[in-house]
Amino acid sequence: MVRSQTQRRFGALGLLLALCACDNGYLESTTTIESICTADWRFALLVELENPARLPIDEVTATLESEEQCFLESSTRALDHALYSCLEQGGGSYAVLVRSGDRTWNESIDVPADDCHVTKLQKLTIQLK
């Protein structure tokens, strides 16, 4: 059987790792990782806008550590209702800002989190009057 250069390198690497991991013929204890924080995107907030006057929405943002844009998920054909999603920045009190022309609406909401991610998606309803 002819082995490629890559197979020989991995074979040698495996042997080296096996030799380093053993101490007097026994494997050393391994370190367990209790929690792994992932880098996947998660949402912290759903912001529901009730907009009976059908005002044009310029932007919706959420701020914990920095001001971040929220994303339009859905709106009704009549534009009197819209739903925005806001990405997590950790747990804590988020300030939500809605802008329409020179008008603004501010609300805050607490978002629970563990050491890594938001633990419960929160929903905030804002009535634009």
Q: Report the predicted TM-score, pTM, of the whole model to 2 decimal places.
A: 0.70
How many Å apart are CA 70 and CA 84, to the nearest integer? Answer: 6
Residue 59 has pLDDT above 90, yes or no: yes
Per-residue model confidence (pLDDT) at position 33: 45
CATH number belonging to domain 43-127: 2.60.40
Say if residue 68 is exposed, middle or buried (CB neighbours under 10 Å; 0-12, 13-18, 19+): middle
Question: What are the pLDDT digits (tens) for 19-54?
Answer: 444 445 544 555 544 557 888 888 999 999 999 999
Average pLDDT score, the chain: 81
CA distances from 103 to 67, 97, 100 (A): 18, 10, 5
Q: What 3-state DSSP class applies to 83?
A: strand
Nearest Cα neighbor of 89 from 120, 114, 69, 66 is: 66
